[in-house]
Amino acid sequence: MSAGSAFIQILINGVLFGSMYGVAAIGLSLIFGSMQIVFIAQGAVIVLAAYFTYWVFTLTGLEPFFCLLLCLPFFMALGWGIYAGLFHKVAAAGKNPSLLLAFGLMVLLQNLMSFVWTPNPRAINTWYTAVGLSFGPIQISFTRLMVFLISIAATGLVFLFMKKTLWGKAVRGACEDMRAASLLGISPRRVNSLTFSIGIALAGVAGVCTATTYPFDPYFGFLFSLKALIAVAFGGLGSVWGALMGGILLGLLEGVGSYLISGGWADAISYAAFLLVIMLRPQGLFGKATRAV
């Protein structure tokens, strides 16, 4: 394999992997946009969805990708429950309590999963797990390609929802200015429940994707949350496609960084890029400067 095609292979893998960061980032971006909460437990919810998929697959033999349909309503309800039961009350108390609440939820979920499913890494093995599609010298894993397509579809659906429905318009308005939105009769409570439902449902999607492509353990989620945060910063807050592009960019950066320098530095490179972006372009790489932060 020549150096050129190896590089293309790395780029493709970066894009495919980054799309998963992107889906997680959209959820974070929506929740931050409407409530100003950094929902650090997003990664733990993703791992929960991965275990859910693993469980359903092991017990019933249901295809993991069909499990997505089962997962979506369940995680939407979970998101609604998390907002109604926890964040609705605490959000009034300020930012620090909300952040710590999310932190507590993360610790609780991680250790609950470790208690129920043991801390050993799990992976789903189906007949197509190792199948790859060849395009000349380039190999593309079937599951990763599926993950990429699902990510694009999920992003597209959320985008259409935000642009074409009245509810979506309310969410966009609330993300821009919650006070003005509530003066116009938009109920903050409903909008926040909705963004939480969508955000957690997207975590469910990312979880199913993780389960089919990579081994995971209960503590894998925190790193995922951090990566999703970086992706949000790259894409700019409140932008659906921006978050997906930010995730893909992060995947590329990590892939190319580990190829050119070394795998150990990949994390430092992405954090350094993250610091540079929030300092120099706080509105995101693709956003326009509209308001000061």
Partner 1 sequence: MRKKISRNSCLLFAVVTLAFVAFPMLVDTEESYLVYFFFMCFIYVALAQGWNLVAGYAGQASFGQHAFFGLGAYVMAITWKAGWTGFLDPLALVLSGAGAALLAVLVGVALLSKLRGDYFALGTLGLGEILRVVFTQGGTLTGGPVGLLLPSSSYRSLAPYYFIALGIALSTFLFVWLLMRSRVGLALVAIREDEQAAASNGIHVLKFKILAFAGGAFFSGMCGGIYGYFLFHIHPLGFFSLNWALLPVLMTVLGGIGTLLGPVLGAFVLTGVFELANIYIPEIHPIFSGLFVILVMLFLPQGIMSLGGKRIVPRLFPFLFGSSK
Kindly state the tokens that stand for 174: 């609330």
> 53, 3, 97, 35: which is closest to 216 by C-alpha?
53
Q: How many helices (H) and strands (E) does the chain have?
A: 12, 2
135 lies in the binding site for partner 1 (CB under 8 A): no
Kindly state the tokens that stand for 70: 């089962």
- Please tell me the distance from the alpha carbon of residue 239 to that of residue 284, in angstroms, as a whole number: 9
Which segment (55-63, 99-107, 145-153, 161-169) binds partner 1 by CB under 8 A?
99-107
Nearer to partner 1, 107 or 153 (CB): 107
State which of residues 279, 288, 290, 291 lies at the interface with partner 1 (CB under 8 A): 279
175 lies in the binding site for partner 1 (CB under 8 A): no
The Cβ-side half-sphere exposure at 208, using a 13 Å CA radius, reads 28
Which segment (92-100, 124-132, 198-206, 239-247) binds partner 1 by CB under 8 A?
92-100
Label the pairing between strands 132-135 and 138-141.
antiparallel
160 lies in the binding site for partner 1 (CB under 8 A): no
229 lies in the binding site for partner 1 (CB under 8 A): yes
120 lies in the binding site for partner 1 (CB under 8 A): no
Query: What is the DSSP secondary-structure string of 81-139?
Result: HHIIIIIHHHGGG-HHHHHHHHHHHHHHHHHHHHHHH-SS-B----TTTT-EEEETTEE
291 lies in the binding site for partner 1 (CB under 8 A): no
State which of residues 63, 69, 115, 215 lies at the interface with partner 1 (CB under 8 A): 115
State which of residues 24, 28, 46, 109 lies at the interface with partner 1 (CB under 8 A): 109
Which helix (DSSP H) or strand (DSSP E) does residue 2 occupy?
A: none
290 lies in the binding site for partner 1 (CB under 8 A): no
Phi, psi (rounded to 5 degrees) for 288: -100, 145
78 lies in the binding site for partner 1 (CB under 8 A): no
285 lies in the binding site for partner 1 (CB under 8 A): no
- Please tell me the distance from the alpha carbon of residue 195 to that of residue 140, in angstroms, as a whole number: 34
97 lies in the binding site for partner 1 (CB under 8 A): yes
Q: How far is the CA of 239 from the CAs of 49, 60, 180, in angstroms?
A: 24, 38, 19
State which of residues 94, 127, 134, 166 lies at the interface with partner 1 (CB under 8 A): 94
50 lies in the binding site for partner 1 (CB under 8 A): no
Nearer to partner 1, 88 or 169 (CB): 88
Residues binding partner 1 (CB under 8 A): 32, 36, 38, 86, 89-90, 93-98, 100-101, 103-112, 114-115, 222, 226, 229-230, 233, 262, 264-265, 267-268, 271-272, 274-275, 278-279, 282, 293
